[in-house]
A and B are shown apart, each in its own frame.
Chain A
């Protein structure tokens, strides 16, 4: 054996050293987390206390402002907690990652839409350059998260009025996404720390919110998907964050894109998209058409009820903020038309949905929405609305057999109730049998049970129960 005691001592010392370093890191991490929590919690408690004490006396707009602060901080905390949970899941190896072919370009489009308001606020231009890259192998939800982080950072650090560019280009064996900003840039020393937990690079005079977890999490997620992430930057010259992911299909044959799963399953039916933003409307149309749906679009202007009804859609996607019009009014307009009186209507919205605001809607699709999620939501609404012809019968057949078999026991209960003279138990049995028989699709049994339940006199009851037992015997073949 090689392991001299000196060698073992050395190995032990190294392990101890590592453990101590890791423990020190954890302590630092906890300090950061606590700090990240204390500030927003302070605001929440402060404003909530103020509202509790003086809520009555405050002007409504002041109250709304205070509540806004509370909500904003609470949401921020939720984001931090989500990031932390994800990080700990990655570290514990329990994060679920489902790798499938994903078009990075589609995710980028949806993230760009989501961050539109933020970039407009700062007067930035988001430019998307589509290098025609093939699908990558990734988890679409996680990849979206990473892209969201990179783009959001670029927006945060960009000087007002500048450009942010997102490019997808071919890379050896895969696809490279680059996000370039004209921000202050990052020194070589800072670049190394950037992708570790709580290592936000701060610039004097810049107020940046966020827990500094985004890039650490992005690195973990990217690596968990088999990719890599990094940055090229120089102080004063902006930064280019990049990530590389393996291609979904190792060698895509020229000019013939491999059909992804969504394209294989053809769907039928008409989807009406009522949306006043032409870009979003075109996006939804493209996604749903590719999935096989017939799509009609409407900008939601006056008279939308009649126009949409004319298309006799099977499902409607309704933007909740059509200019001045509320989603509720638009829904009422649809419900006033025969052709759309009962079709499922899905609320399409970028904002938070207030409790009750989604009443009457068959579901909600948040903007931005990924193609797979959009298709799945529409599919689900349709499957349920249609109940697919024959679906009930197919579903019922085995259950009906079981129900029929169970009838013998029910007849026994009825007989024993009669033998005991327990009219209450008899009434309970016949009542239950009536409902169940109806639901399972045995109408004459249901009718016989109803007659027994409702019989007024002993004589009619006896006769009705007799008929009921005969009915059961006929069904059980006894």
Chain B
């Protein structure tokens, strides 16, 4: 009997954003911080992948306005899957929204981040609080 391997892989974040250029920014930043990043161009793609059970991610970054399922809908459906029931989720939005949709239960590691020049900083702080950083 041996202790389990200690070399756990880096935590994985999923990013769903229909704007390629913005997704590129978010994904490169998260990779820069040392995370593995799975990139999806829509909430629908994200859900398909999550439901297939092929792999898993530890937290999700969702654009709110996406064709097909929007960010909120994607989050709700994602959390209806047992393995993602409590997945930390952060919403990013370009629109001038100030509050999270009331449909998303607060307190479950959710946050709304605006796409502005503080976004990357806020994103770092959010993952720092909500995503296991190692082993």
> Footprint of B on A, CB under 8 Å?
76, 78-79, 82-83, 86, 114, 141, 144-145, 148-149, 152, 209-211, 214, 217, 342, 344, 346, 355-356, 358-366, 370, 373, 376-377, 380-381, 383-385, 387, 392, 395-396, 399, 403, 406, 431-432, 434-436, 438-441, 443, 446, 450
CA distance A364 to B130 in the complex (A): 11
Given A79-B2, A148-B2, A438-B94, 5 extra CB contacts under 8 A: A78-B4, A359-B86, A381-B134, A406-B21, A439-B25
Q: What would be 13 A-B contacts, judged by CB atoms less than 8 Å apart?
A: A78-B4, A83-B1, A83-B2, A217-B2, A359-B88, A364-B132, A385-B128, A403-B21, A435-B19, A435-B95, A436-B115, A439-B120, A440-B22
Q: A396-B120, A439-B115 are in contact. Are A384 and B3 (CB under 8 A)?
A: no
**In the complex the two chains form, is B125's CB within 8 Å of A385's CB?**
yes
A114 contacts across to B, CB distance below 8 A: 3
State the majority secondary structure of interface residues on B: loop
CA distance A217 to B63 in the complex (A): 48
B131 contacts chain A at the CB level, 8 A cutoff: yes
B16 contacts chain A at the CB level, 8 A cutoff: no
CA distance A441 to B128 in the complex (A): 22
CA distance A377 to B135 in the complex (A): 7
**In the complex the two chains form, is B116's CB within 8 Å of A439's CB?**
yes
CA distance A215 to B3 in the complex (A): 14
CA distance A145 to B4 in the complex (A): 9
CB contact between A363 and one of B95, B108, B121, B132 (< 8 Å): that residue: B132
B residues 84-135 near A (Cβ < 8 Å) are: 85-86, 88, 92-96, 108-109, 114-117, 119-121, 124-125, 127-135
Top 8 closest A-B pairs, CB basis? Answer: A435-B94, A438-B115, A380-B133, A384-B128, A363-B133, A436-B22, A385-B128, A441-B117
CB contact between A141 and one of B7, B26, B95, B127 (< 8 Å): that residue: B7
**In the complex the two chains form, is A392's CB within 8 Å of B125's CB?**
no
Q: A152-B1, A359-B109, A446-B116 are in contact. Are A436 and B134 (CB under 8 A)?
A: no
CA distance A356 to B109 in the complex (A): 11
B131 contacts across to A, CB distance below 8 A: 362-363
B34 contacts chain A at the CB level, 8 A cutoff: yes
Q: Number of contacting residues on B, CB 8 A? A: 49
**In the complex the two chains form, is A436's CB within 8 Å of B25's CB?**
yes
Q: A145-B2, A214-B2, A387-B121 are in contact. Are A362 and B25 (CB under 8 A)?
A: no
CA distance A114 to B25 in the complex (A): 43
Closest to A358 in B: B132
**In the complex the two chains form, is A432's CB within 8 Å of B129's CB?**
no
Q: A114-B3, A210-B1 are in contact. Are A438 and B114 (CB under 8 A)?
A: yes
B3 contacts across to A, CB distance below 8 A: 114, 144-145, 148
A152 contacts across to B, CB distance below 8 A: 1
Shortest distance in angstroms between A290's beta carbon and chain B's nearest beta carbon? 19
CA distance A78 to B88 in the complex (A): 28
Q: A82-B5, A211-B1 are in contact. Are A376 and B134 (CB under 8 A)?
A: yes
CA distance A5 to B33 in the complex (A): 66
**In the complex the two chains form, is A443's CB within 8 Å of B116's CB?**
yes
**In the complex the two chains form, is A149's CB within 8 Å of B2's CB?**
yes
CA distance A152 to B115 in the complex (A): 53
Closest to A152 in B: B1
**Interface code B1-27, partner A: CB below 8 Å = 1, 0 otherwise?**
111111100000000001101101110
Shortest distance in angstroms between B66's beta carbon and chain A's nearest beta carbon? 11
**In the complex the two chains form, is B125's CB within 8 Å of A387's CB?**
yes
Q: A359-B86, A443-B116 are in contact. Are A384 and B133 (CB under 8 A)?
A: yes
Shortest distance in angstroms between A350's beta carbon and chain B's nearest beta carbon? 12
Closest to B113 in A: A439
Shortest distance in angstroms between B46's beta carbon and chain A's nearest beta carbon? 18
B29 contacts across to A, CB distance below 8 A: 395
**In the complex the two chains form, is B94's CB within 8 Å of A434's CB?**
yes
**In the complex the two chains form, is A342's CB within 8 Å of B129's CB?**
yes
Q: A342-B129, A435-B22 are in contact. Are A443 and B117 (CB under 8 A)?
A: yes
Closest to A347 in B: B132
Q: A344-B128, A392-B120 are in contact. Are A214 and B1 (CB under 8 A)?
A: yes
CB contact between B2 and one of A82, A377, A438 (< 8 Å): that residue: A82
Shortest distance in angstroms between B87's beta carbon and chain A's nearest beta carbon? 10
B80 contacts chain A at the CB level, 8 A cutoff: no
**In the complex the two chains form, is A82's CB within 8 Å of B21's CB?**
no
**In the complex the two chains form, is B134's CB within 8 Å of A387's CB?**
no
B117 contacts across to A, CB distance below 8 A: 438, 441, 443
B94 contacts across to A, CB distance below 8 A: 431-432, 434-436, 438-439, 446, 450
A82 contacts across to B, CB distance below 8 A: 2, 4-5
